[in-house]
Amino acid sequence: MIALLIRDLKLALRAGGGFGLALAFFLIVVTLVPFGVGPDPELLSKIAPGILWLGALLACLLSLDRIFALDWEDGSLDLLATSPLPLEGVAAIKSFGHWLTTGLPLILAAPLFGVLMNLPATGFIPLILSLTLGTPALSVIGTFGAALTVGLKRGGLLLSLLVLPLYVPTLIFGAQVAQRGAEGLSITSPLLMLAGITCGTIALLPFAAAAVLKANLR
Amino acid sequence: MNQRPEQKRPAVNSVWEYANPRRFIATSDRLMPWIWGGAIACLVIGLIWGFFFTPDDYRQGSTVKIIYLHVPSALMAINAWFMMLVTSLIWIIRRHHVSALAARAAAPVGLVMTLIALLTGAIWGQPMWGTWWAWDPRLTSFLILFLFYLGYIALWSAIENDDTAADLTSILCLVGSVFAILSRYAVNFWNQGLHQGASLSLDKEENVADVFYHPLLFSIAGFVLLFLGLVLLRTQTEIRARRMRALLARERLQ
C-alpha cells in the first residue's frame, strides 16, 4: 500500500501540471472574484469564507479525473485489481494520495488567499480547521466519482455532474464553520457535523468505489 | 405459447432475461388498463373537485388550489427516488433485470415530478411570498434532488454496456440516497425556512382543512396511479427494446 502511495505521489510530482495546477486554479478563482463583485473590502471580507471554500472545492474537482484515468489507460488498474491488495485499499490509498497532492497544498495556501480576500483575523483558524477536516471528505467522495466514470471516454463533465451534488453537505458545514468563525460565533456544532461527514465518508465510500471499479473492470 | 424450445436458449439468459420479463409483461399488460383508468378517474375527480368545488382560502384566495398539483407531485418525486433505491437494491442482491430496468424507467418520471413540484411552487410563491424562489431548506433540497436525478440519468445514458450501467447506477443511487438525506439536514442547518410545515401528516393538528383534504386525497391517488402506469409502460418499452437488440444480435450471429 505504501509502495502504491509513493508511486502515486512520484507520478503526481514528476508528471508536471498535475500538482501545482489545483493551487494555480484556486489562486485564479480568488483573483477573479473581486473582478466579478467589485473590490469593496467589506463585501469581500463578508463573502471570503464562502469563496475560499468554493474555490478549494472546485480546485479539488479539477484533478479528480486523474485519479484513475491514467492507470486505466495504461492497464495498471487491471494489475492493481489482480494484486493481493484489496480494491478497497487501492481506492483508499488513491484518495489519500489525491488529498496529499491537492487538499494539503490548498490548506497550506488558504491563509495566503484569505489575506487576498480580506478575511477577518478571527476567521483564519476556523478556515484552516474546516479545510483540514473537510478536504479529506472531498477527496474520498471524488474518488468514488472518478471510479464511476473511469471507463467513459468523455467522463469529465459527467464526473462534475455526479460529484458536485454529493459535495453539498461537506460544503455547507465547511463553509458554515469558516463563516461563523469569521463572525466570531461558536463553531462547535458545524465542526462536529463536518468531522462526522468526513469520518463517515472515509469509512464507507472506499467500499462503494471498489464495488464500482469491479463493475467497470469486468 | 412457448415458441422457442427450452434447450435452445442460452443458459445465462433463460431465467432472468426472458422468462421473467415475459411474465412481467403479461401481468402488467393485464393491470395496465385498470391502472390507467384509475389514474384518469382519480385525477379528473380530484382536480375538478379541487379546482371548481372548493372554497377560496380566506388569506390565499384561489392560489391555494395549486396544492392539488404541488403536493402530489412533490410526494411522488421523493417516492420515485425511494422506489429507485429499492429496485437498485433488488438488482444488486438478486440480479433481477426487470428491477434494474424499472429503476431506469422511473428516473425520468421522477425528474419530471420534481420539476412540476418546483414550478408549481414557484408559481404559487410569487403572489404569496412575493418571490419566485427563496433559498429555503425545502426548496433547496428539492433542487438538489433534481440534480441527483440529472446525474443518475446522465450516467445511465453515458454507459454502453447495459449490465455495467445497471451496476454503476444502482451504487450511485445507494450513495446518492445517503447524501440526499444528509443534504436535507445540512440545508436545514444552513438556513431557516419560509415553507410551511407538512400539509399532510398523521396528527390532525397540522393538516389542511377537510374541504381541501378530500379532493387532495383523490389527486394524490391519481398521481400514484399515473406514476405506476408510466413506470410500467416505460419498463415494458425497455424490456422490448432490449429483447429486440438481443434478437438482432442473434440474427447477425447466424
pLDDT in tens, A49-107: 889 999 999 988 888 888 888 888 888 888 888 888 888 888 898 898 889 888 888 99
Find the distance separating the first CA and the last CA of chain B, reported in whole Å.
Answer: 24
The segments of chain B whose pLDDT lies below 50 read: 1-15, 17-19, 202-206
Residues A118/A43, Cβ–Cβ less than 8 Å: no
Residue B123's CB: how many other CB atoms inside 10 A? 15
Q: Between chains, do A172 and B187 touch, taking CB under 8 Å as contact? A: yes
In B175-247, at which residue ranges do the beta strands (DSSP E only) sit? Answer: none
Grid cell at residue A78: 487491471
Band (A167; pLDDT cuts 50, 70, 90): very high
Task: Please list the alpha-helical segments (H only) found in A74-153.
Answer: 76-82, 87-98, 104-116, 124-148
- Residue A30 belongs to what domain range? 2-217
Q: What confidence score (pLDDT) does residue B15 get? A: 41
Q: What is the pTM of this model?
A: 0.85
State how many domains chain B has: 1
What residues in B contact A211, CB-CB < 8 Å? 167, 171
Hey, what's the cell of A205? 465510500
d(CA A124, CA A118): 11
Q: Which residues contact A116 (CB under 8 A, 6 or more apart)?
A: A30, A31
Question: Does any domain span residue B12?
Answer: no
Q: What's the mean pLDDT when you consider all of chain A?
A: 86
Q: Crossing angle, helix B162-190 and helix B97-129, to 10 degrees?
A: 30
CA B105 to chain centre: 9
Chain B residue with minimum CA distance to A149? B155
| Residue B198: inside a domain | no
A111-120, A200-209, B87-96, B203-212: least confident range: B203-212
Does residue B4 sit within a domain? no
* Domain encompassing residue B181: 17-192+209-240
Span A128-155, pLDDT tens digits: 999 999 999 999 999 999 999 887 877 7
Chain A residues with beta carbon closer than 8 angstroms to that of B158: 149, 152, 155, 158
Domain assignment of residue B132, yes or no: yes
Residues comprising chain B, all counted: 254
Q: Report CB contact under 8 Å: A218, B164.
A: yes
CB atoms within 10 A of CB A118: 17
Distance from the Cα of A138 to chain B's closest Cα (Å) equals: 13
Q: Which residues between 112 and 151 in chain A have a beta carbon less than 8 angstroms from any beta carbon of chain B?
A: 144, 148-149, 151
Has residue B48 been placed in a domain?
A: yes
- List strand residue ranges (DSSP E) for chain B, in order: none
pLDDT at site A166: 92
Distance of CA B192 to the CA centre of its chain: 28
Dihedral over alpha carbons A41, A45, A46, A52 (to 10 degrees): 130
Q: Which three cell numbers stand for residue A190?
A: 458545524
Do B168 and A148 count as a contact with CB atoms less than 8 A apart?
yes
Position B216 in a domain: yes
Question: Mind listing the pLDDT tens digit for each residue in B167-184?
Answer: 899 999 999 999 988 888
Alpha-carbon distance B116 to A116, whole Å? 43
How many CB atoms neighbour CB B160 within 10 A?
9
Assigned C-alpha cell, B139: 426548496
As for how many domains chain A has, the answer is: 1
B3 phi, psi to nearest 5 deg? -70, -45
Residue A134: predicted pLDDT: 92
Distance from CA of A16 to the nearest CA of B (A): 30
Shortest distance, CA A133 to any CA of chain B (angstroms)? 16
Whether B3 maps to a domain, the answer reads no
In B, residues 156-185, which contact A (CB 8 Å cutoff)? 158-159, 164, 167-168, 171-172, 174-176, 179, 182-183
* Contact call for residues A214 and A147 (beta carbons, < 8 A): no
Position B254 in a domain? no
Supply the DSSP symbol for B201.
-
